[in-house]
Amino acid sequence: MLRSLRLPELSLRHITWAVFIYCGVVAAAWPRRTYDIWWHLATGKWMVQNGKIPHADPFTWSKLGEHWIAHEWGWELPMYLLYAQWGHNGLMGLRVLVAAVTCALLAWLCLRRGAMPLAAMAAGGLAIFAARPIFNDRPQIATMPLFVAMLCLIEQTEQGKPRWLLIGAPLLMLAWVNFHGGFIYGFGLMGLYVLCKVPGWIGQLRAKQPLAPCPGMLIGAIVLAAVACLANPNGIAGATYPFQYIFGGTAWHTTWISEYESPDFSGKIFVMLGILIVATTAVFAASGRRSRLWDVALVALFLFTALKWQRNMGLFAVVVAAPLSLHLSDLLGSIGLGSSTEEADGRRPTVLYWAIIVALLVSAAMSLPSAARLADAKFKGDMPVECTQYIKDSGLQGRMFNTYRWGGYLIWHLWPEHKVMVDGRADVLGKDLVSDWQKAHKLNEGWELVLDDYQIDYVIVSVRAPLVRGLEEDSNWRLVCTEPTGRLFVRRDSIADRTAGPDVAGATGQGAPVDESTD
């Protein structure tokens, strides 16, 4: 009877998988506010209501009907369906699942490279929490598992199985191109790998040896992946969209959106990234291990991209996990820690391992409800909840001027009865419109002309915007709603003025001090 109840044996490799997945679940469970979530949800809702993918802007009055490449439709649709059914709990389930898959693939990669389990757990845990900000409710989260999957395919190629890349890369791209513009990183990985193999191929040619991995296989994988990218609703335009977005006519947006800034390591969100960079530098220097050219090139390239644009910090974190675990394995071995306790004494402490698994499961299960309770407040924080409700209840008419980061929230709650001036889609808005918006929002010279030229009837704006001060002091505008986060003004004698209620009691035209920071 006792033998029939014997627990299946576990090893440290199993614990490694469990730790990686646990770290991913915990890192992704806690909600991180992102302003773009709302227009992504609105896009998914639009697709369900209309039964097609949008090709023209339906959300703004300023760009209504203009061409729009909705390149993230494949992720926005399930986002909306999950939110419509389960609210923020549905979105939490999606990002936890994505994080778990990403971390499982990362564990496989580290162990496949030959890292000892303890080193893999240490390196992987640090990398996962450094990447934590990327596990949010935006389509960019879909890039994470697909990016790591591409690394796994390349590793299989490195170990003599190039057919994995030949078959797998097009399949990855088929989904990736419809989820997020980060699919260009897939081509970046394959292209960098080919470049890193060139010196080896030259040596093989000189030695009159067969080329391995076969160059034809690698080039074929890239070509088939490129063909697969054409399978999107916008064809060539969709396949080339990321290049246009970053390097083409819309590249201007990278100069003023915060995620295209370098990391500010004084901020707590970047602490783990800083620790990862320092730890990687120290371990690489101390281990004495000779790295593959592929590892050096990969780490160097993505370290540069992470230091240039903070939005790439998650990619650097997962790129460095496997090489770091290998160097850490050598370092631990050099100081006599060996590969694992179970190999040293020939026994596996199965009961202890099962206890660890149970503890991780219980800890994860306890963290999920706590995280779920925070989601609603997290996503409402800094949003104009009361002023938005005022617009809906009063039925304000006319053209809206709004704070940029609120655009998605206002779309979700007010569209189609009310359309915003700007939202998070800088590529749709264009440089001229955004420049005019900035002029008014920051109270720069000529701000009044912007509101006049665009025939603005009402303004819903953050209390941190300098424009608040200008409108409070301008007799052509009156304050009709106020809350801790925002203000709602209507232009006197406009269509909005005729449907708005009375001025806010006690409004004197002398508002509270306004934070002049960029909003």
What distance in Å separates the CA atoms of residue 112 and residue 156, rounded to the nearest whole number? 9
List 491's β-bridge partners, or say none: 477
> What pLDDT score does 380 carry?
86
Torsion of CA 394, 397, 399, 400, to 10 degrees: 10
**Amino acid, single-letter form, for residue 289:** R
pLDDT at 510: 40
Q: Which of 136, 144, 218 is nearest to 180 (CA)?
A: 144
Report pLDDT for 249.
Answer: 78
Starting at the earlier edge strand, list the strands of the sheet with 458-462. 400-402, 458-462, 486-491, 477-482
Give the pLDDT confidence score for residue 349 in this predicted structure. 81
Q: Specify the pLDDT at position 333.
A: 86
Contact 70, 43 (CB under 8 A): yes
Q: What angle do CA 147, 152, 155 make, to 5 degrees?
A: 130
Residues ≥6 apart with Cβ < 8 Å to 285 = none
- Name beta bridge partners: 490: 458, 478
Class of domain 385-499: alpha beta
This prediction's pTM: 0.93
pLDDT digit string (tens) for the chain, length 519 residues: 445 557 788 889 999 999 999 999 999 998 888 899 999 999 999 999 999 999 999 999 999 999 999 999 999 999 999 999 999 999 999 999 999 999 999 999 999 999 999 999 999 999 999 999 999 999 999 999 999 999 999 999 999 999 999 999 999 999 999 999 999 999 999 999 999 999 999 999 999 999 999 999 999 999 999 999 999 999 999 999 998 888 887 888 888 888 999 999 999 999 999 999 999 999 999 998 899 999 999 999 999 999 999 999 999 999 999 999 999 999 988 877 655 555 554 567 888 899 999 999 999 999 999 888 888 888 888 899 999 999 999 999 999 999 999 999 999 999 999 999 999 998 899 999 999 999 999 999 999 999 999 999 999 999 999 999 999 999 999 999 999 999 999 999 999 999 998 998 655 444 333 333 334
Kind and range of the H or E element at 291? none
Q: What are the residue boundaries of the structural domains of the chain, listed by start?
A: 12-135+319-381, 385-499
Q: What is the pLDDT of residue 347?
A: 61
Buried b (16+ CB within 10 A) or exposed e, 286-325: ebebeeeebbeebbebbbebbeebbbbbbbbbbbbbbbbb
Query: Which residues, including other chains, have CB under 8 Å from residue 224's CB and lie 6 or more apart?
Result: 166, 169, 170
What was the pLDDT predicted at 342? 57
